[in-house]
Homo-oligomer: A and B are copies of this chain.
Amino acid sequence: MDFVLKGNLCYSESPERLTTLPGGYVVSVNGISEGVFETLPERYAGLPLTDVGDRLVLPGLCDLHVHAPQFAYRGLGMDLELIEWLETRAFPEESKYATLDYASRAYELFADAVKKSATTRLSCFATLHVPATLLLMQKLESAGLRGFVGKVNMNRNSPDNLCETDAETAGADTEAWVKEARRQFMRIQPIITPRFIPSCTDALMDRLSGIASEYDVPLQSHLSENQSEIKWVSELCPSTNGYADAYERFGMLGDKTIMAHVVYPEPKEIQLLGERGVTVAHCPASNMNIRSGIAPVRKLLNAGVKVGLGTDVAGGQTIDMFRAITDAVQVSKLYWRICDQQDQALTLSEAFYLATKGSGAFFGKVGSFECGYELDAIVLDDTDLPHPQELSVAERLERAIYLSGDCRITNKFVAGEPILP
């Protein structure tokens, strides 16, 4: 259904340029933006108009890294560090998804929460369980969301009840899952998901890389999250030239790859990620919570690496992508202050760009209202943030992002389809 949306439009044209158009029009035809207009061109006068009055209208936010099964224990066990947290929180909880009944209850909560959130697109990890992963895809698809879901692969250094056996069986399961997912779903697509280097044998990595290539499926994993993890990888893969190279040698770094975190990249790794066109999912909350550190986002951007934002629930405690935006700004200020005063902090405009066009690029032409972009939009009611002074639309947007918990999302469109209210 084609339509016109009228309201206070806010979107990025570039990292430096946050455009606001009070009372502007954005036109959706076949789910694609025809562009924004101060006055509605005559040729669109016949389309149905949704006028949201004084509310803010933003592109949907894109969450590049989130663990769906961890949503059930977000905000718990936050005093632990990565490896300890995986062993005492993540793995025991993820093993419950062998049971479809538990998976159904938990994934229903996740899909419902994402539907109500500012997120329109996501790339998420499920667990290694194929039936539960298909169930998650079905629930996200039904919610009207778009993006990728990965059946996780892990066949070493994992607890017995959460460990695939030989690479051949794991590969065959994964290949069958890719085919079945493509058969069943339109909006939600499969993504190959080796958990991280320590949890996959070389044979499995080879097999997964082959599937990604044969079926032209994107790939996601974790890279350089935490110092102990990096040390572990160097012990497991003594012949590689750093953590990124441990993926590179399996042909896993390319322009359809998301690598989450990248907190401690070597200069040569930054160069490699840039050359391969890998998208980095920056997850500032998680990097604080499980004591990983602060990713050098400015260095990545300066080197031309593609960067988007992720909530990394449940390393991050919330799926609120507005929080990811302000967390990204805040930790970049600390990085500038403490780590390297050559690296200017991110501005709000830049972080907003990362959460919209930056993350969105992984999903196609997504994350803006410019002509030709898929029409993902959220409408924000900020009337619970009363103010005694006059505020511009840009100021109201800044406030709404910093105080997102006090705003309400009243409408949401994904690729031109209304999914809220």
Residue contact A388 to B102, C-beta cutoff 8 Å? yes
A398 within 8 A of B: yes
Residue contact B403 to A73, C-beta cutoff 8 Å? no
A53 within 8 A of B: no
Q: How far is the CA of A337 from the CA of B293 in the complex (A)?
A: 6
Residue contact A109 to B334, C-beta cutoff 8 Å? no
A189 within 8 A of B: no
Shortest CB distance A331–B (Å): 7
User: Which chain B residues border A44 with CB–CB below 8 Å?
Assistant: none
CB contact list, A82-122 vs B, under 8 A: 93, 96, 102, 105-106, 109
Shortest CB distance A43–B (Å): 39
A289 within 8 A of B: yes
A337 partner, pick from B106, B292, B406, beta carbons under 8 A: B292
A363 within 8 A of B: no
User: Which chain B residues border A391 with CB–CB below 8 Å?
Assistant: 76
User: Which chain B residues border A288 with CB–CB below 8 Å?
Assistant: 330-331, 333-334
Q: How far is the CA of A139 from the CA of B7 in the complex (A)?
A: 36
A39 within 8 A of B: no
Q: How far is the CA of A405 from the CA of B395 in the complex (A)?
A: 22
Interface size class of A (residues with CB under 8 A): 35 or more
A291 within 8 A of B: yes
User: Which chain B residues border A386 with CB–CB below 8 Å?
Assistant: 109
Residue contact B78 to A291, C-beta cutoff 8 Å? no
A256 within 8 A of B: no
Which partner residue on chain B sits nearest A402 by CB separation?
Answer: B75
Q: How far is the CA of A44 from the CA of B245 in the complex (A)?
A: 69
How often does this chain occur in the complex, in copies? 2
A403 partner, pick from B74, B331, B339, B389, beta carbons under 8 A: B74
Q: How far is the CA of A334 from the CA of B333 in the complex (A)?
A: 12
User: Which chain B residues border A334 with CB–CB below 8 Å?
Assistant: 288, 293-294, 331, 334, 338
A387 within 8 A of B: yes
Shortest CB distance A210–B (Å): 36
User: Which chain B residues border A75 with CB–CB below 8 Å?
Assistant: 385, 398-403
Residue contact B402 to A294, C-beta cutoff 8 Å? no
Q: How far is the CA of A403 from the CA of B389 in the complex (A)?
A: 30
Residue contact B289 to A330, C-beta cutoff 8 Å? yes
A398 partner, pick from B76, B293, B294, B333, beta carbons under 8 A: B76
Residue contact B72 to A347, C-beta cutoff 8 Å? no
Which partner residue on chain B sits nearest A285 by CB separation?
Answer: B330
A199 within 8 A of B: no
A209 within 8 A of B: no
User: Which chain B residues border A105 with CB–CB below 8 Å?
Assistant: 388
A317 partner, pick from B317, B395, B402, beta carbons under 8 A: B402
26 A-B interface contacts by CB (under 8 A)? A72-B387, A73-B387, A75-B400, A75-B401, A75-B402, A75-B403, A76-B399, A78-B329, A78-B348, A79-B345, A79-B348, A105-B388, A285-B330, A288-B330, A291-B333, A291-B336, A291-B337, A291-B345, A292-B337, A293-B337, A293-B338, A294-B338, A317-B326, A317-B402, A317-B403, A334-B338
Known: A79-B329, A291-B345. 16 other contacts (CB 8 A): A74-B402, A75-B385, A75-B398, A75-B402, A76-B391, A76-B399, A78-B398, A79-B345, A93-B389, A109-B388, A288-B330, A289-B330, A291-B337, A292-B337, A317-B403, A338-B339
